[in-house]
Amino acid sequence: MSAEATSPGARSRRRGRTSIDLRRLGRAALLGPASRDRLPDAIGHVADAHRAHHPDADLLVLGKAYVLAEMSHRGQFRKSGEPYITHPLAVTLILAELGAETTTLTASLLHDTVEDTDVTLDQVRAEFGDEVCYLVDGVTKLEKVDYGAAAEPETFRKMLVATGNDVRVMSIKLADRLHNMRTLGVMRPEKQARIAKVTHDVLIPLAERLGVQALKTELEDLVFAILQPEEYESTRAVIADRATTGPSLDTIAVDVRRTLREADISAEVVIRPRHFVSVHRARLKRGEMRGTDFGRLLVLVGEDADCYAVLGELHTCFTPVISEFKDFIAAPKYNLYQSLHTAVAGLDGAVVEVLIRTHQMHRVAEAGVVALGNPYTPVDGAEPADGERADPTRPGWLSRLLAWQESATDPDTFWTTLRADLAQDREISVFPADGGMLGLPAGATCVDAAYAQYGDGAHGCIGARVNGRLATLSTVLADGDTVQLLLAQGPVQAPGDSGGPGPSPEWLDHARTPAARIAIAGWLAANPESLKVPESEPRAPGAVTAGRRGVANVVVDVPEDATVRLAGCCTPVPPDDVTGFLVRGGAVTVHRAECSAVGRMAALGRSPVAVSWGDEAECRVTLYAESFGRPRLLADLTEAIATAGAAIVSANVEPPSEQRVRHTYTLQLPDAAGLAGLMRAMRDVPGVFDVRRAQHEPAS
């Protein structure tokens, strides 16, 4: 777990953190332990941070762990020239600032001793007990000498299995990776990129799922600086300049404080600046940034009921944007997160996002599972039933991951599947008709529900009822659906044999969970007869330009009789990076490269089709405009569109709902280069607070 020096993203560290002089700590570390009646000077920062969260904590065990770590790492140096002990000290300080309890901090100080020194697990167990030993073992890497190229995926597999028994293992790993990312600058660029890519694909999603937002956001910024240096520098420049259009967050924060004070609600109102990646995403979505787009208002109160009182005052005294309201207090997110989200607009139309939560909710939002302390402490001294730990931090996604990894015996399959599984960032709950609950990733189908409920028994699934109605196995489930899976009677065998039916290859197109995909693929591999399809003569490929001017102005390497259409989910226009996929019926659908549908197609194993833009300058695009209702709004918008030189092909204006109006325009532009100016002109119409291109698949 070695780490190196000076990171290009060091500027993005969270505000308010005490500046730590690692070289001074290194000199203190070399001086050895202090006298027996006080802690060594080198861990003074850790002790102060720990006591801030746990005033009654016994710090003697930390001093004892530090002495062992310092002695075992003595003579080892990081590539930056600092004594190696500065790394476990920094990792422990990160966890102490998040509020980790003493056992976690003890293991953090020792987390590299077994891996990099002569200290053994037996010694750790004898000195500090089974729990600390388990945590240290959980984050200890497997040797490349023994595992070769499979060392990294197998290390993560070992770590995840250990996390299933004690979530504190992953807390230490995340803090370890954060300090390594902060100090990555002396590594070769190619190694920086490799480490950043693994951090992006695996550790950042794990930090999100464990609710450790404080670590996740900083890791995102550090990865952003390495993998997208040009966009990072551009975002830095935008943040440094700060848009001055409209009122600032400071002005609105003053108004909110006055409103809550007049309502006699005790609350703390602070400005939460967006981190670099958040600003980058907002720029991609909104284009030109306004002053209120660079942060959010955070309102902290004492009790749950106060959160709703604040919400009522804000929606009474300001104009609410109803589409932005979300209640994560009544329905917490799967990563423990609780908060009320809303957005309000002042008299001048400036919109600001507001987060409302209690102080305890805020601690959990920032530190996630770390804020729970020791989740395995028995309640009132009672031991868990059957000697098992009652773990409140083992959510559905972790249980699913631990289940399917047992079937992925090949390291490459495990590594690829893990990354794909972690890329799914939302979770739903569905309810089997015979009772219980299934946690599934968003986008899961009846196929996924079948394998989640019955395991290999789902091979005999022949249909389903969703909310009482017959549904195909490809039906995508929604949060709260009731599902009844219909199973065939008798054994499941390959086609042509006696017995019930088995999975078809099409099931792989409908499966979203790794457990379902691995089980289906295993059955198909064991029953190759099911893969036989009628032979057909291959058709020679050829380049064709779609004939509908301005609608599909693309050249696609497909058969001449294929239909080409632009995807309605993202409405690509020149010079967008585009790619195409063959869909049912032999048609080719062209998507923007960043469209979410592209990732789904790739996950299903669909091969992309080469696509390029033709010579025509005209293009067609669909735009969504969000606004507040007012007289002459439609006339002003259409005038802005006409002035920008665009022709309206179709328009739809939804009936006003809670003072909010949504407009959908399909527009023909003489030149795609004018799209950005058109969107700015529409956004400048009074009352319009957002204009964006279509980027999500329309609801069925």
Please tell me the distance from the alpha carbon of residue 335 to that of residue 392, in angstroms, as a whole number: 11
The two tokens of residue 48 are 């102060």
Side chain identity, residue 485: L
Nearest of 484, 517, 509, 487 to residue 499 by alpha carbon: 487
Active site includes 218?
Answer: no
Nearest of 259, 315, 313 to residue 659 by alpha carbon: 315
CA distances from 143 to 84, 116, 152, 153, 406 (A): 20, 11, 9, 12, 21
Please tell me the distance from the alpha carbon of residue 675 to that of residue 64, in angstroms, as a whole number: 64
Sequence-ordered strand ranges (E) for 361-410: none
Active site includes 208?
Answer: no
SS3 of residue 441 by DSSP: strand
- Specify the residue for token string 């969703």: 466
DSSP 74-132: TT-B-TTSSBTTHHHHHHHHHHHHHT--HHHHHHHHTTTHHHHSS--HHHHHHHH-HHH
Count Cβ atoms within 10 A of the Cβ of residue 132 and give its class: 0-12 exposed, 13-18 middle, 19 or more buried: buried
Please tell me the distance from the alpha carbon of residue 308 to that of residue 325, in angstroms, as a whole number: 12
Q: Is-contact 86 25, C-beta < 8 A?
A: yes
Q: Which of 58, 97, 112, 116 is catalytic?
A: 116
Distance of CA 265 to the CA centre of its chain: 34
Q: Which of 115, 152, 304, 690 is catalytic?
A: 115
Distance of CA 396 to the CA centre of its chain: 16
Side chain identity, residue 481: D
CA distances from 371 to 54, 130, 366, 381, 441 (A): 11, 22, 8, 21, 25
Nearest of 18, 16, 15 to residue 239 by alpha carbon: 15
Please tell me the distance from the alpha carbon of residue 338 to that of residue 391, in angstroms, as a whole number: 19
Please tell me the distance from the alpha carbon of residue 401 to that of residue 399, in angstroms, as a whole number: 5
Please tell me the distance from the alpha carbon of residue 592 to that of residue 7, in angstroms, as a whole number: 33
CA distances from 581 to 97, 400, 567, 594 (A): 48, 31, 10, 14
Catalytic residue ranges: 115-116
